A and B are shown apart, each in its own frame.
Chain A
Amino acid sequence: MAAILEMRGITKTFPGVRALSDVSFSVEAGEIHALVGENGAGKSTLMKVLSGVYPHGSYEGEIVFEGEERRFSGINDSEAVGIIIIHQELALVPLLSIAENVFLGNERARGGIIDWGATYAGTKALLETVGLSESPDTLVEDLGVGKQQLVEIAKALSKRVKLLILDEPTASLNERDSDALLELLLRFKAQGITSILISHKLNEIAKVADSITVLRDGTAVETLDCRGGPVSEDRIIKGMVGREMADRYPPRESRIGDLLLEVEGWSADHPLHTDRRVVKGITLNVRRGEIVGIAGLMGAGRTEFAMSLFGRSWGRNVTGKVRLAGREIDVSTVGRAVENGLAYVTEDRKTYGLVLERDIATNVTLAHLSGVAKGGIIDDMRELAVATDYRSRLRIRSAGVHQDTVTLSGGNQQKVVLAKWLFADPQVLILDEPTRGIDVGAKYEIYALMNRLAEEGRGLLVISSEMPELLGMCDRIYVMNEGSLVAEFPVAEASQEKIMNAIVRAGRR
């Protein structure tokens, strides 16, 4: 088969650093080509070069698309020839309808006046293609993340796409929605649309990719062909990190102690639709030194439970009892919850975790300023020492503790959020999707840190949508569905099938 795209000898430098060096990357027509690599390996930079975000002249090398050399000076040029990129952060306007979003910037209009008939008809056809049955005038904000992703794809299709680039499309999707999306990619392939898939989820790549290119430190290390036979995840990881990863989860000897956290009959209603109970009478416990997981599908109410527990940060009519080491504690505000030994590490570090335009030091001390202050006055040097200590202990890669967190990679940002809560010295940590969107190497470090915290006698409650992660890390797993706990397994008895079964059976009841 012929190559639809060839990028030859691409070198892109930023002041002081070479982000891509002499990368050659070729995609065959009609295939699904996966692009993998750790954060910072240069995947996004390469795609920005391809889509014209970095215009011709700002990089070295050449791009040949459909047999012609292309010199894009902006994203409009690349879209004009059929290269469409769907970014990780969705670019939809929440308060506009699906139809308005699909044709945004590309309106079905004559002389500036929108033809609503054509707009709706066109949208309907596109939605059918991606498998959505929603009405075109539904507001985007009323859709779940999974469906929003499909709207993005419908939008791409409206532009006569030849090469579709998806940057981490399933990062915030649950398994069912992810599978639907991957099915869709396979259908596109049958229709002759070529796709480039950037993902950290190696199992998904194994499912759909025809070939895999591995980037590491700004160079293309290798391209693996999957058509001859499946490529193992370990093989891909080896390419990404440059060494064999013997074990994805660091070993731990559980030393489980007394009851630490007990939650009894915890309930919460939706903050806007107060007639909707989202968390329904959760009763659970965590012991000292224990890592307890909460499995469930997206929308099961896990984050809502955790946030309502942590200082009523979510929901209305929050009720229930919390005991810490046998004593009932007040968690009615975040301040009190922290004082009483709780910490909640958010799933959304950019929105809820970090003050992005402040430096590492400021973020690390934010939840426990009294630890570096006396009588309300901050001791700069003490703060510096604390931040420096956590930076080296958690191996946060940065130019120093005064680097703004917005410039850090995802894994390092996550470590800053963790450092913030470690400095507050909690007894119980609730970790919500602690490894979302971060690369394999950083994941391992975070797992090792979790083990260390458990060994120190703290209790960890881990919410994760990646079942292998829960199975690999936890001592005990609760399963949550539609706001209730529907099952509990010691890890020795748990498996992905059992967890899925519990969810499905609960759903049928």
Chain B
Amino acid sequence: MDTGLVKEDAGTRRMPALSAVRTHFGDYGMLLALLVIMAFFQIMTDGTLLRPLNVTNLVLQNSYIVIMALGMLLVIVSGHIDLSVGSVVGFVGGLAAVLIVQYGWHFVPTIAVCLVVGGIIGAIQGYWVAYLRVPSFIVTLAGMLVFKGLQLALLGGRSVGPFPIEFQRISSGFIADPIGNPGFNLPAIFFGIAAVVAIGWFGLRHRANQNRHGVAPAPFGLFAFKSGLLALLVLGFCYLLATYRGLPNVFLLMITLVAVYAFITNRTTIGRRIYALGGNEKAAKLSGVRTEFLTFLTFANMGVLAALAGLIVAARLNTATPRAGLGFELDVIAACFIGGASASGGFGKVTGAVIGALIMGVMNNGMSILGIGIDYQQVIKGLVLLAAVSVDVYYRRK
């Protein structure tokens, strides 16, 4: 086609500074949007947003959304959707409560059983989508109804609780300071410093690698600015946590999972194949990619993560309620789309989904502090989702 010629020539021209910034800064656009939103609420709430207590709350309130967004991203990238996750959260939370409170199980086997049950739920839905070829929207809409119903049946329409303290610590525990220094938690600070060192080391190693293979890395100034900005954010964040109660357990769990999934999507063959499957299923299949099995796997994985989120939610509320998990699927899906995932599959990044979840979380939190009613909160969130995706579509078309 004629456009081949166009692109070829456009690509061989020297890259002007502005476009270098755009190519190498593209992924940071989302992060900047998050910072702008945070700055806005920081000013509007007279500094309440970034108080240590509130930052800790932000983490506790949004960890399970972030965790589910990791699984949802893979589902969306493979070209599907999972509407059942909210119901699975509620059902698994209920299951945990029944096992621990009513049957007196220890919390460790309970967690194991709950994660397995989540995996089985995801696997069943995945089987229907991947092998029986029923559209995922339908399968998981059915799953949403089924598990919502089972949640109610399991709990008998009542709340079940409370949980033993060990179980609660999943969500409400913190990494203790060995010195017991009140008001300033050392592990949090060490964690921040370690993270900054890791950012610098991996960044420099990547540049060295690029140089060794004759690829021109981004200008050093830009790299330094980006890394510096990120380091500053990480340190600031850890400082805020340190001045309250330190690192929440659930934060460590979340960060570990984010790192694992970012690695899977960016660097592993399985991640690559999921993107290929979402980009062009037929071509992927004819290249030897086991498309059905991968689809099945993304749903099974989603089920496990939804179950984990269900445990976190139950532990945080210290009770399993019939309303738990209601509407979570919408927040999770919105996080992925705000983060740049494509509804038709093939596109989307873990970092984008995480930032998308944080944008939703900060807006929820900020608007609550400002006393905006739940009614208009939803209106505003809906408009932000539409705006974010519209901007994305606009730039992709260019």
Contacts and interface: CB of A to CB of B under 8 A. Distances in A.
A335 interface: yes
A357 B3 contact: no
A310 to B, nearest CB: 7
Nearest to B344: A357
A366 B269 CA distance: 9
Interface residues of B, number: 39
A264 B385 CA distance: 58
> DSSP majority for the A interface?
mixed
A388 to B, nearest CB: 9
Contacts of A19: 2, 5-6
A367 B269 contact: no
A19 B6 CA distance: 7
B6 A369 contact: no
A412 B11 CA distance: 16
Contact of B268 (A17, A42, A376, A408): A376
Contact of B215 (A43, A346, A352, A384): A384
Contacts of A351: 280, 282-283
Given A335-B290, A378-B269, A399-B11, A354 B4 contact: no
A362 B273 CA distance: 10
Nearest to B269: A369
A243 to B, nearest CB: 19
A93 interface: no
B297 interface: no
Interface in A13-34: 14-17, 19
Interface in B97-114: none
B355 to A, nearest CB: 22
A381 B209 contact: yes
A355 B284 CA distance: 7
A358 interface: yes
A337 B288 CA distance: 8
Contact of B276 (A333, A355, A376): A355
A306 to B, nearest CB: 11
Contacts of B181: none
Interface in B248-294: 267-270, 272-273, 275-276, 279-280, 282-290
Contacts of B269: 369-370, 373, 376-378
B276 A378 contact: no
Given A357-B346, A384-B213, A334 B285 contact: yes
Given A45-B2, A311-B288, A335-B288, A399 B283 contact: no
Given A43-B2, A356-B279, A409-B1, A398 B11 contact: yes
B270 A376 contact: yes
Contact of B4 (A358, A380, A381, A409): A409
B288 A40 contact: no
A16 B9 CA distance: 7
Interface string A393-411: 0000111100100011110
Contacts of A373: 268-269
A194 interface: no
Nearest to A365: B272
Contact of B280 (A41, A218, A354, A398): A354
Interface in B314-369: 346-347
Contacts of B6: 14, 16-17, 19
Q: Considering residues B6, B280, B286, which has the most beta carbons from chain A within 10 angstroms of its beta carbon?
A: B286
Given A352-B282, A378-B272, A334 B213 contact: no
Given A40-B4, A377-B267, A334 B287 contact: yes
A358 B275 contact: yes
Q: Considering residues B7, B10, B279, B346, which has the most beta carbons from chain A within 10 angstroms of its beta carbon?
A: B7
Interface string B1-23: 11111111111110000000000
Interface of A: 14-17, 19, 39-45, 218, 310-311, 313, 333-335, 337-338, 344, 346, 351-358, 362, 366-367, 369-370, 373, 376-378, 380-381, 384-385, 397-400, 403, 407-410, 412, 420
Given A40-B4, A355-B346, A366-B287, 6 more contacts: A16-B13, A41-B2, A310-B286, A353-B283, A381-B209, A397-B4
Interface of B: 1-13, 209-210, 212-213, 215, 267-270, 272-273, 275-276, 279-280, 282-290, 346-347
When A and B form their complex, which 9 residue pairs have the shortest distance between CB atoms, in order from nearest? A399-B11, A409-B4, A355-B279, A17-B9, A40-B5, A367-B287, A16-B10, A407-B7, A369-B269
30 contacts: A16-B13, A17-B8, A17-B9, A19-B6, A39-B1, A40-B1, A218-B5, A338-B288, A351-B282, A351-B283, A352-B282, A352-B286, A353-B283, A353-B286, A356-B279, A358-B275, A362-B276, A367-B287, A367-B288, A369-B272, A373-B268, A373-B269, A380-B267, A397-B8, A398-B11, A399-B12, A403-B7, A408-B4, A409-B1, A410-B1
